[in-house]
């Protein structure tokens, strides 16, 4: 699986619920079924520096700065800094994403 395919899959997961994403699996065994839980936290690296990606995530998809920060393993302040650098208008503090 290519990196872009993995990122697209993770974006789809993001749209389904908030991070971290909990995946539950039933793992069959000879003496019965065992349940395993996997916690997935994506790492989009420095995508927050890309104006088009950041604009899409923040304005089009309506993610909060904190959600974007969690996906990129940075702080919300870092995301805010890049929004400002790119001239992307920020929402008022405390506003909930739709």
**What tens digit of pLDDT does each residue of 64-78 get?**
999 899 888 899 999
Q: Same structural domain for residues 36 and 13?
A: yes
User: Domain span at residue 7?
Assistant: 1-42
Q: Same structural domain for residues 70 and 57?
A: yes
When comparing pLDDT for 4 and 66, which is higher? 66
Question: Model pTM?
Answer: 0.60
Q: Supply 22's token pair.
A: 């909990």
Number of domains forming the structure of the chain: 2
Q: Same structural domain for residues 17 and 58?
A: no
**Contact present, 13 and 21 (Cβ < 8 Å):** yes
Q: Same structural domain for residues 52 and 16?
A: no
pLDDT at 29: 63
Q: What is the pLDDT of residues 17-68, one digit of tens each?
A: 555 555 555 566 666 666 665 666 667 889 999 999 999 999 998 999 998 9
Q: Is 8 helix (H, G, I), strand (E, B) or coil?
A: helix
pLDDT at 54: 96
Q: Same structural domain for residues 65 and 86?
A: yes
Q: Which residues of 63-90 are buried (b: 16+ CB within 10 A; e: fewer)?
A: bbbebbbbbbebeeebbbebbeeeeeee
Cβ neighbors of 37 (< 8 A, separation 6 or more) are 22, 23, 24, 25
């Amino acid at each position: 699986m290519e990196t872009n395919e993995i990122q697209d899959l993770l974006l789809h997961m993001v749209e389904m619920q908030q991070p971290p994403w909990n995946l539950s699996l039933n793992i069959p065994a000879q003496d019965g079924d065992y349940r395993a839980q996997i916690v997935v936290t994506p790492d989009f690296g420095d995508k927050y520096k890309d104006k088009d990606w950041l604009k899409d995530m923040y304005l089009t998809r309506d993610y909060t700065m904190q959600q974007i920060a969690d996906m990129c393993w940075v702080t919300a302040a870092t995301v805010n800094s890049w929004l400002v650098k790119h001239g992307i208008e920020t929402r008022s503090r405390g506003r909930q994403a739709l």
